[in-house]
Structure 1
Amino acid sequence: MKNTKTYRPNYPLNQFIDVIWAGESDNYEIQAIHHAPLFTELIFNYGDSFSINGQNVEEFNFQNNQQILSGLKTKPFHTEISGKYLNVGLILKPFCYGLIARQINSSRIGDLSEILFKQFLIKAKPDLKKIEKELFKLFQNSRLENDLIKFETYLNKNISEPKRIKDFNNLISISQKSFIQKFKNTFHITPNEYLRLKQVNHAIIKINANKYKNLTSLGLDCGFYDQSHFIRTFKKYSGLTPKQFVKG
């Protein structure tokens, strides 16, 4: 049996991390395929085998402990876990992949691995204030560029309205080519791929909450041009058509 606890950090850490989770099990076996998520995840593995196969995944080790950084994706990915399960994970904002990737070889990750292990997996009651203070050191010198903030705002405004990168580019002072490169340096996917990722995840949230009339209206509500566009994009990012996803 797997025991998992979750925590939601406070400001200012919640600008970068949505959820901190810790999981334990003497023996846990799973092989699973997941749809492309709208978050980056950093996992500290102190147990046995834990692997993630997909786009934008980096594995590294400090002091014989495995860390896995999993970024944004444009297609499904696969996880495989076996043996002793002892992990702490950070569900990060989408833009955090580049921020963490640049620090992979720093001692800060190793120090953080020790702190998280002690606080979540040794102590009966973790010191959340100390944990948040240590985690914020990863981001305290980081700032998301203004053009990227503007793009996020543009996408979130009236989600059901179809969006085009060309239209957004009229709102900023750099060329479309320069913006795409700037975006890829941080998110590791293109702006258009990110838009589709947001639309698909928005549709999945509505499906899981049963907040839609039918699949045709769902696609339009999530900003897709038509049903064909919705089905094709949804299948690319999730591995299933919307109808197959609803059936489970």
Structure 2
Amino acid sequence: MYKTALPAPNLRNYVALFWEGELAIGSNQAHTYHATATSKVELLFCYAGNYLTNNEKGDAVQVPAACFYGQASTCRRYTSTDTFNGIFGVRLYAHAIPLLFNIPATELTNQYVDISSLLNGRGHELAGEIFAAGSFEKRVTTISDFLQSQIQQRFATLTRFEAFVTSLHRLAQHTSVSELAGEVNLSQRQFERHFKYLTGFSAKTYFKIARFESLMETLCCPAGKVPQNLTGIALDLGYYDQSHLNRHFKEFTGLSPSGFLQLQEVGERLTS
């Protein structure tokens, strides 16, 4: 079971999507979630079951039941052997972290952090409210009210640069960094410093991942069917050729496009 909901208009500069997934598996089975590179932050609440991942040393560690999964330039796998798993997620644009919580986005880059570590007691309370909610709709309402209160507490208006960055996800194409810096009257060095604070990445890396995310949306077609013209898709998205696309795909997923589609066919879900 998988559900999604779009945020209210006043949250759309910060929240891309609310989602919830539930999965039942056999007692002798395991479910592996393959997380790919992403420009966004997931606020995750695992209200049933639990997942393990590997740390930098390769040791298996349990993922916190309520955590921020930061924007990432790498892939990671999460595995659960519980017979029932349920996760509620809030897909945030990375700039929501500094703008709503006064925390540099760079603190979450390629990291996952327990919600209480970032939001202290309020994070613990929020997790309890989400876990106690009896429905997806109630969870959406609870987290929406929390995020709206953060907007009211943090600021009345955005600076020109902040407003510019919050609109980036709506742009179909991106110009050079020097041109973007000129749009907000900053030197390229100033632009890069502020941009990394708000997104967790340099502008070059951010747009590279954003293009990859557009590719993933195209590849996630019904029934896991291979697109007939992958080279044409690559060119449309700004890749030099399919070889260029393949290199980025391997970098951000650890898989080839064909390997990714094979996982789709056997029911394993990969997301950006």
Fold equivalence (TM over 0.5): yes
Question: Which amino acid is the alignment partner of residue 5 of structure 2?
Answer: Y
What secondary structure does 1:120 align onto?
A: coil
How far the C-alpha of 1:127 sits from its partner, in A, is 7.7
**Percent same amino acid among aligned pairs?**
20
Identify if the C-alpha distance between structure 1 residues 134 and 154 changes in structure 2 by more than 3 Å, giving closer, same or farther: closer
192, 202, 221: which one pairs with 2:236? 221
8 Å contact kept, 2:94–2:200: no
Contact map agreement 2:50 2:80 (CA 8 A) in 1: yes
Q: Distance in 2 between matches of 1:96 and 1:169?
A: 21
Secondary structure of the 2:65 match is strand
State the TM-score, normalized to the length of structure 1. 0.74
The structure with more helix, counted as a fraction of residues? 2
Deviations 1:77-117 (A, max 9, x none): 22123436344321222323444583814322122112212
Unaligned runs of 5+ in 2: 104-116, 264-272
Task: Report how far residue 214 of structure 1 moved.
Answer: 1.6
Instruction: Check the 8 A contact 1:154/1:168 in 2, yes or no.
Output: no
Q: Which residue of 2 aligns with 1:116?
A: 130
Q: CA deviation at 1:12?
A: 1.9
Instruction: Please give the root-mean-square deviation of Cα atoms over the aligned residues, in Å.
Output: 3.7
Match among 162, 182, 191 for residue 170 of structure 1:
182
Q: Give 1:192 shift.
A: 0.9
Residue 150 of structure 1: CA displacement?
3.1
1:146 and 2:148 aligned = no
Q: What is aligned with 1:16? A: 14
- After the TM superposition, which residues 1-248 of structure 1 pair with which residues of structure 2 at under 5 Å, given as runs? 3-23=1-21, 29-51=30-52, 66-83=65-82, 85-98=85-98, 99-100=100-101, 102=103, 104-120=118-134, 126=138, 129=141, 131-140=143-152, 141=154, 145-150=159-164, 157-159=171-173, 163-209=175-221, 214-248=229-263
| Residue identity opposite 2:191 in structure 1 | F
2:31·2:79 contact (CA, 8 Å) conserved in 1? yes
SS where residue 231 of structure 2 aligns? helix
Task: Encode CA deviations 1:25-69: one digit per residue, 9 max, x unaligned.
Answer: 6778422323213421011234443245689xxx9x9xxx73221
Task: Please say if residues 43 and 67 of structure 1, whose CA atoms lie closer than 8 Å, have aligned partners that are also in contact.
Answer: yes
Kept in 2: contact 1:16–1:93 (CA 8 A): yes
- TM norm structure 2: 0.69
Which consecutive residues of structure 1, in runs of 5 or more, have no partner in the other structure?
none
| Number of residues of Structure 1 aligned to a counterpart in Structure 2 | 236
Describe the shift of the 1:152–1:199 C-alpha distance in structure 2 as closer, same or farther (beyond 3 A).
farther
Range with bigger deviation, 164-173 or 184-193: 164-173
Report if the CA contact (8 A) 1:70-1:97 is conserved: no
